[in-house]
């Protein structure tokens, strides 16, 4: 039996949306998984942006997602499983490569073994592996997503509307920021004033995305809980942010924990913003890949559904269609 899946890249945080706002964007990871009758217990081949990873197959996040889905469904993993994965998502650049791998592995287990897990169950197990849900949720559902814990500790997942005029402009440098290092840069506690500013920025971000309001988005992209502490980890960040705004962007901030910088701009200004961001990084002798994306409505899908352009997981079903 064989399954082929496609999972989107994601951008998260976006300033005030720290650890709770994520958006699916265009680059994708593609996974083929099967259950061979003979051979090794675990086989994993990587190409694309994953070709240079030296992580042992047993420690790969695709395998972790696969096993976590089996555990969630109270099923033993199969005796043999083989994966071939290729990815367009840069690793260590704040574009959700880890979340895509986890979701792909969990989705493969769900499909191959008919586990019957809902999409929210996959989000929950992925968030447990990642430590936060903001990349996992849009990787599963697509679109822009708000993921917050309820009073009982369960995740509340809600779609966010992004105004049709907005585009997300990404500048992806040729260096990575280690996620663990980015987490370690955060303070253990913040002041009441910073907490108040963070709450205001989060509300401004959500409202600004919906309305396409430049003033609200400008306030929402500030990100007092993480951006001031992580920007020193990204060489040239201040110059790239200034260049984006000078070229007509509403604002710019870290994508995830970096190293990529994401700007929000109108469709008309997005190409110029991308060029300005690349030029700013060139002054630091940094090579840059840029791309412009709207929110991708398509989360994890079978490759057949991806090619056909249909949505992936039917509400309340959880089996990939």
User: Domain limits of the chain?
Assistant: 2-160+295-308, 166-293
| DSSP state letter for 162 | -
Nearest to 103 by CA among 131, 74, 127: 127
Task: Report the C-alpha gap between 255 and 2 in whole angstroms.
Answer: 34
pLDDT given for residue 306 in this prediction: 56
Tell me the longest C-alpha to C-alpha distance in the chain: 61
Paired residues of 199 in beta bridges? none
Nearest Cα neighbor of 262 from 248, 239, 244, 279 is 244
Range 34-48 burial, b when 16+ CB lie within 10 A, else e: beeeeeeebebebee
Question: Which residue's structure tokens are 């955060």?
Answer: 186
Domain 2-160+295-308 class, CATH top level: alpha beta
Q: Is 182 left (phi over 0), alpha (psi -120 to 50) or beta?
A: alpha
By the 10 Å C-beta count (0-12 exposed, 13-18 middle, 19+ buried), 184 is classed as: exposed
CB 277 within 8 A of CB 290: yes
From the list 238, 250, 282, the residue with the least C-alpha distance to 168 is 250
C-alpha span between 137 and 39 (Å, rounded): 34
Q: What is the domain class of 166-293 according to CATH?
A: alpha beta
Q: How many CA atoms lie within 13 A of 79 on its CB side?
A: 4
Helices marked H in the chain: 61-72, 97-112, 119-130, 136-141, 179-184, 192-211, 214-220, 227-230, 237-246, 270-282, 303-308
pTM: 0.92
pLDDT at 150: 85
**Three-state SS sequence of 197-246:** HHHHHHHHHHHHHHHCCHHHHHHHCCCCCCHHHHHHHCCCHHHHHHHHHH
Per the structure block, which two tokens stand in for 135? 């990349």
Contact 136, 102 (CB under 8 A): yes
pLDDT (tens place) for every residue of the chain, 321 residues total: 799 999 999 999 999 999 999 999 999 999 999 999 999 999 999 999 999 998 999 999 999 999 999 999 999 999 999 999 999 999 999 999 999 999 999 999 999 999 999 999 999 999 999 999 999 999 999 999 999 988 888 899 999 999 999 999 999 999 999 888 888 999 999 999 999 999 999 999 999 999 999 999 999 998 899 999 999 999 999 999 999 999 999 999 999 999 999 999 999 999 999 999 999 999 999 999 999 999 999 999 987 765 666 444 433 333 343
Rounded CA gap, 22 and 287, in Å? 26
C-alpha–C-alpha distance, residues 85 and 49, integer Å: 10
Tokens of 255: 């994508």
Q: What is the pLDDT of residue 149?
A: 85
φ, ψ at 252 (rounded to 5°): -150, 155
């Amino acid at each position: 039996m064989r399954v082929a899946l496609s999972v989107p890249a994601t951008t998260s945080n976006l300033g005030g949306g720290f650890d709770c706002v994520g958006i699916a964007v265009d680059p994708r990871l593609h996974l083929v998984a099967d259950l061979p009758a003979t051979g090794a217990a675990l086989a994993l081949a990587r190409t694309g942006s994953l070709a240079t990873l030296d992580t042992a197959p047993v420690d790969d996040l695709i395998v972790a997602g696969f096993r976590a889905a089996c555990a969630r469904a109270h099923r033993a993993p199969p005796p043999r499983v083989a994966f071939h994965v290729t990815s367009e998502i840069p690793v260590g650049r704040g574009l959700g490569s880890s979340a895509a791998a986890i979701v792909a592995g969990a989705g493969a287990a769900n499909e191959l073994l008919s586990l019957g897990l809902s999409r929210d169950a996959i989000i929950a197990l992925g968030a447990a592996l990642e430590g936060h849900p903001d990349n996992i949720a849009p990787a599963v559902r697509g679109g822009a997503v708000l993921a917050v814990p309820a009073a009982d500790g369960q995740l509340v997942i809600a779609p966010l509307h992004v105004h049709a005029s907005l585009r997300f402009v990404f500048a992806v440098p040729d260096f990575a920021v280690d996620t663990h290092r980015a987490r370690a840069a955060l303070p253990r506690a913040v002041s009441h004033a910073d907490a108040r500013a963070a709450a205001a920025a989060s509300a401004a971000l959500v409202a600004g995305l919906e309305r396409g309001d430049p003033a609200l988005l400008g306030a929402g992209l500030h990100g007092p809980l993480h951006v001031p502490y992580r920007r020193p980890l990204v060489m040239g960040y201040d110059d790239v942010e200034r260049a984006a705004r000078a070229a007509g962007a509403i604002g710019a901030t870290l994508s995830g924990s970096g190293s990529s910088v994401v700007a929000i701009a109108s469709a008309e200004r997005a190409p110029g913003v991308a060029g300005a961001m690349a030029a700013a990084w060139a002054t630091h002798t940094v090579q840059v890949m840029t791309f412009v994306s709207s929110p991708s409505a398509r989360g994890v899908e079978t490759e057949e559904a991806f090619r056909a352009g249909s949505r992936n997981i039917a509400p309340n079903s959880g089996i990939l269609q």
